[in-house]
Each structure stands twice: as structure tokens, then as C-alpha cells.
Amino acid sequence: MGNKFCYDVLPSGSVGSLNWTPEQQEIAFRRRDEIDPVRKIGSASHASSLPLALHQISPTWTWNGEAMDVDRYMDQERVSGVLVLKDGHVILERYGLGRTSEDRWDSQSVTKSVAGILVGAAIQDGCIQSVEEDVTKYIPELKESAYDGVTIRQLLTMTSGVEWIEDYTDDERSDDSKMFMPTYAPMVDGIDPVVGYMRRLSRANKPGATFQYKGADSEVAAKLVSNAVGMSLSQYLSLKIWKPFGMEKSASWMVNPGGQEYGSSGISMTLRDYARLGQFMLAGGKIGEVEVLPSAWIADATSALEVFSQVTNSGAIGYGYFWWINDNSFMASGFAGQKIVIYPTDKTVIAVNSAWEEPNLPGHPPALSAFIAALHTAAVAHKPGRLRIGP
């Protein structure tokens, strides 16, 4: 359909993506850099190996009384890609919706988890001293705002106490939508437009007292890291992970009108690199013998620092540092069915990309959880056998 489809039919900005039809998602999620301003994340000269296991998995399970298999689930839930790694070996890789292994896919809120990773990298590099430091040390424009007195830890656990409306069905009401609109978040006096928007927010709760999922905290974290390391987040992500870990393809990261990468959404990458990102976390944030993330930081990031009073519809029991925590795994999660799930004990990584029809319907997350559970069960039972040469 070419650029005409992207520019003439699709609304721009992440706010627009929340309202795309499934057919628009199917194309635009893999062509985000043709719709919005992005910055490139450079890849390695040689990709790290993802060897293909001789024996592949193809689980079956029952969901709501219906017999399911991988192909049926992918068709029903509009999955563009699923990849499962066991002990670093590919035991399942399939594509749908016209996507190939070469195509990037919009991560939506998986970006938040990546922003959190970069906080850890900046701490390891000494650019940030501690998660107990105040946000305003690194973003002085937020002094005398609702973020004054909020710590980096409170950002990462989404307990800043800042008032925020995250409503994916009402653009005019939702702060998460208005933050992306120049009308509400203009560039004034050289201040980053998202920071300018955050300066106008009120305080709802005492910092540290209450968990509330909100894009605001990840946006502030992104700006904080960029200020602390003195470079763009795309450059820093390329320097710390994309190139040294051997990501297969360059990625892209959407930027706001001030040129700052969004912290709550906007990274696009290939399915294999989604899986490699999970493998990086499975390795404890290390690349070979190099500790990219502090071990103590990784332990906190992937633990339920905030415990929920009831399990979410996607199975999360709590929240770490921009990571959702399950009983035996932790995960990055994004709108319309984007997931990276890491099982540390079983050395398993599952990456799923989707373009859900009516993404806000409550039935999607539990169906995806059942799919992931079936993949995990099959992965645990998998017998590696000999390996074939793979990508």
C-alpha cells in the first residue's frame, strides 16, 4: 500500500496507535518508522547465534472448552510472531499477518521495560549513583512539580504518587494520550514537551505509598537517563546492548517533538531481537563476563517489590522495575499483545507479537496467558537432541 496508506490513513503518534483498526495495526506496527519521527538503534556487525533445535515444540491445550494449537491461536488472536528459546536454542519460531523475520514490530509498552534496563546500565556506569536519588537531581525542570521529592526507585515501581489518567478508550480524557499531542504538550522555552507536560501534573498520593500503572513515570525515567548519560537513549541502548549483545537488526525508537525518545512506547525491533532482549535479561544483564546491569539491581528489577492485592488478568502478582512479575517468571508487556516472558529457573524465553482485534477487550490477556503457559510447559518437557544450524 506504500507510504500513502501510512501518511493519509493512519493518525500519527502513539495516541493514534491506540485507535488503529486491526488491519491498520497489521501494517503500521511493522512500519512505524514511516509514520512517526524515530531515531535508529544501531545493530552489531555480526548477530549472536540463535541455534535451531532439532526437535521443535507444537503444543496443544484447551481454552474455554475449545481445543487449541499454535496455528489456531495465532489466527484467532492475530499473532504476527512467536519465538521460544530454551537454553538459548530456538524450539519454536512462527510468523503471521504477512510478517517475516526481517520485519520490525512496534513494542508498545515493552518500551517501558527497556527504559528501566537503561536506568540500571546508567547506575552500573556510574552516571546515576543510586535509585534512592531524587528525580530532580537529573531533571531540575521538575523542581516544585509533583515529581519534586520522588525518587528513581519510586519511578521504576510506578509509586510516584503523581496524578495520572491512563485511559486507552478516551483520548480527550487520558493523560497517556494527551502527552503525545502537540496541542497539550508543546515545546516551550526549550523545555522538553513531555517534561513540560509532567510539570503541570498534580499529586494524588504520597510518593512510595501506592502503585498506579502510568506512562508518566517511564517518560520521566527516559529523560532522566538521557540527561544522566549525556546522549540519546537510542545511542545508549545501541552502545550498551544492541551492538555488544549481537542484535541481528537495527531497531528504531520514536522521538517526541523535542527529539527525546518516548519512555512509555515507541521501540520497534525484529522478533528474534525481542527474544535476544529476553535472553540478555535471563543472563542476568551480563554480556559474556561484562556486567552491564548491577546484579543487585537485576534482583530488585525482577522481584515483586510492589505486591498486588489480586492477580491481574495477565497473571501478574506484582511489579518490579518496569517489569511485571508472575509466580515463576517476569515479563515485559505491551498494548495489543506484545510480550517478552522470561523463566529464570527453566532457562526459557518467550516472545510474542500481536495485533489484537479490539485490544481493550478483557478476554485477550488471559487467552495470551494460556498460550504462554502451554508454550512454557512444552519448553520444560523439550528434549534438545542434536542441533541444526540456525540463524
Helix pair angle (215-229, 110-124), 10° resolution: 30
Q: pTM value?
A: 0.92
Q: Which residue has the higher pLDDT, 297 or 388?
A: 297
φ/ψ of residue 207, rounded to 5? -55, 135
∠ Cα 55 391 276 (to 5°): 90
Predicted confidence band at 281 (pLDDT cuts at 50, 70, 90)?
very high
The bridge status of strand 348-354 relative to strand 79-86 is antiparallel
179-220 tens-digit pLDDT: 777 666 767 777 898 899 899 999 999 999 999 999 999 999
Q: Which residue has the higher pLDDT, 23 or 227?
A: 227
Distance CA 36, CA 215 (A): 19
φ/ψ of residue 335, rounded to 5? -50, 140
Q: Which three cell numbers stand for residue 41?
A: 538503534
Q: Which three cell numbers stand for residue 343?
A: 523463566
Sheet bearing 104-106, strands edge to edge: 38-41, 251-254, 267-270, 104-106
> What's the CATH code, domain 2-98+107-384?
3.40.710.10
361-382 tens-digit pLDDT: 889 999 999 999 999 999 999 9
**Residue 99, helix vs strand vs coil:** coil
Helix (H) or strand (E) holding 197: helix 193-199
Q: What pLDDT was estimated at residue 168?
A: 66
- Cell 515479563: give the residue: 331
The alpha-helical segments, DSSP class H, found in 29-180 are 70-76, 110-124, 152-156, 175-178
Buried residues in 182-212 as b, exposed as e (16+ CB within 10 A):
eebbeeeeeebbbbbbbbebebeeebbeebb
Is a pLDDT exceeding 50 seen at residue 1?
no
Predicted confidence band at 8 (pLDDT cuts at 50, 70, 90)?
very low
Buried residues in 340-379 as b, exposed as e (16+ CB within 10 A):
bbbbeebbbbbbbbbbbeebeeeebbebbbbbbbbbbebb
Mean pLDDT of 326-341: 97
Q: Which residue has the higher pLDDT, 35 or 82?
A: 82
99-124 tens-digit pLDDT: 999 999 999 999 999 999 999 999 99
Distance CA 86, CA 53 (A): 9
**How much is the mean pLDDT over the chain?**
91
Beta bridge partners of 251: 41
214-241 tens-digit pLDDT: 999 999 999 999 999 999 999 999 999 9
Distance CA 276, CA 25 (A): 24
Distance CA 72, CA 208 (A): 43
